[in-house]
Amino acid sequence: MFVRRIAVVGTGYVGLTTGACLASLGHHVVCADVDAEKIKRLSNGEVDILEPGLADLVAGGLAAGRLSFVLGAAAAVEGSEVMFLCVPTPMGVGGVADLSVVESVLEEVATLLPAGAVVVNKSTVPVGTAQRTAELLERDDIAVVSNPEFLREGSAVHDFLHPDRIVVGCDTQDAAEKVAALYARLGAPTVLTDAASAELVKYAANCFLAMKLSYVNAVAELCDRLGADISDVTEGMGYDKRIGQAFLQPGPGWGGSCLPKDTSAMLQLADAADFEFRLIRATIDTNNRQRQRMVEKVRLAVTGKRGGSLSKVRLGILGLTFKAGTDDLRDSPALAVSALLRQAGAKLTGYDPALRSSDTRADLDGITVVDDPYRAAEGVEALVVLTEWPEFRGLDWGKLAGVVSRPVVVDTRNLLDPDVLRRAGFEWNGLGRP
Ligand code: UDX
Ligand code: UDX
């Protein structure tokens, strides 16, 4: 296997995972970031994101001398054969992906990249970005490759080292094969295609996942109205291999740093191509509606009537991150529902296993964050489960029944066992479950 000298620009979830995993595969990797503090901590092996296995990989790479961290892209690209771009491509005006960071990095390194180097877009970028990247570089001795990442937060290292597939898009066969060879040891199916198709794979895949979730959330609503049980319905659906059991868990809506951004970027892409992508429009609308539906469920559970007032009602929130297993709050459905509950006048005390009460992130404004789930339950009229942390199942519900003012649970993740709750004296309200 060829050991390559690789530069990775951006050390967030995607960049740090990519760098550390490629170093663990034997490559020499220099990671760069603009955040000097972060680079100092990483150089000491301190990883500040919650990703199982990542800190060990970083420590291993540092110890083996195959992984290092530098400030700024320019310092990383010297002598590198491949440069991965893993910098933010946030949602810009009108939902279009904002490429300003990508472009500023390219300007910084355009003249510094060695002849024959390959620039790889790993960030999620709109169709046509590889072409735009080549135009910005103005170097015909540099190839540009699209190599989207499919890792999930909370299992990033596992997903990187056990990929369902590798997608590599480039109009130059050599460059495409050079990038594909970096992953050879993983033994995954590899899709070699043109850059535009590779760029679209990422959006199409993420939008399909979002669509599947909006669909199951809509079916759960139907179950609520028809008295059917969504758990049995999804089990019955999921045995069909064409559907699969994965991503059929109803909830308060989908969120995170990717699905919301990528669905709206796909809409813009389609609009720009004069195509009204109604399915994606409906997927996003269903998701926004789902967040509102959670508030209606709380109103009904607390007041016993549809649309009942939540003014000055004290609620305990269990789960604030966008999903279990991560400390990421970006576009969290739990925070979106919490904001709607506050707008309705409710007073919120929240607990999340990945967060501390000392957390000052603005996303948590208006929620009293505590370090103990039992404190979050003190004197509340209902507990609302918004993130599917498994540890909530193991809580002492008998003890909780003793501290709440009313033993009512709204479980927007169908996470808890209704029988356990009922034996503890709680009224349990799930999604699409009788
Ligand atoms: C990022 C993008 O946000 C996402 O769109 C893309 O699909 C994959 O890469 P993520 O790794 O989650 O996702 O981003 P984030 O955790 O925000 O990290 C980005 C890193 O880039 C940060 O460490 C930031 O400091 C760094 N950065 C930002 C640079 O190195 N240079 C810059 O100019 C700006
Ligand atoms: C997603 C894609 O899964 C990943 O392939 C891509 O690279 C980045 O975007 P991630 O953002 O980590 O990964 O989140 P994911 O695990 O997909 O969950 C997205 C949202 O859907 C979360 O809010 C989660 O709680 C919700 N979800 C997921 C459900 O409500 N039900 C499910 O069955 C699965």
Q: How crowded is residue 132: how many other Cβ atoms within 10 Å of its Cβ?
A: 17
Over residues 374-384, the mean pLDDT reads: 98
pLDDT at 4 over 80: no
CA 97, CA 315: separation in Å to the nearest integer? 37
Least confident among 93-102, 123-132, 290-299: 93-102
CA 144, CA 110: separation in Å to the nearest integer? 12
The structure tokens listed for 186 are: 């993983």
pLDDT single digits (tens) 219-272: 999 999 999 999 999 999 999 999 999 999 999 999 999 999 999 999 999 999
Residue with tokens 């540009």: 144
Over residues 298-313, the mean pLDDT reads: 96
pLDDT at 360 over 90: no
Which of 50, 152, 264 is the best mutation target for the ligand 2 pocket, counting ligand atoms within 8 Å of the beta carbon and taking the most? 152
Ligand nearest to the CA of 72: 1
- Which residues is 351 bridged to in the sheet? 318
In degrees and rounded to multiples of 5, residue 348 shows phi and psi of: -110, 135
CA 167, CA 154: separation in Å to the nearest integer? 22
Beta pairing class for 82-85 and 367-369: unpaired
Kindly report the pTM of this predicted structure.
0.95
Q: Which residues of 20-51 are buried (b: 16+ CB within 10 A; e: fewer)?
A: bbbbbbebbbbbbbbeeebbeebbebebebbb
pLDDT single digits (tens) 190-221: 999 999 999 999 999 999 999 999 999 999 99
Ligand nearest to the CA of 332: 2
CA 235, CA 215: separation in Å to the nearest integer? 15
The structure tokens listed for 262 are: 């990528």
Nearest atom of ligand 2 to the alpha carbon of 249: 33
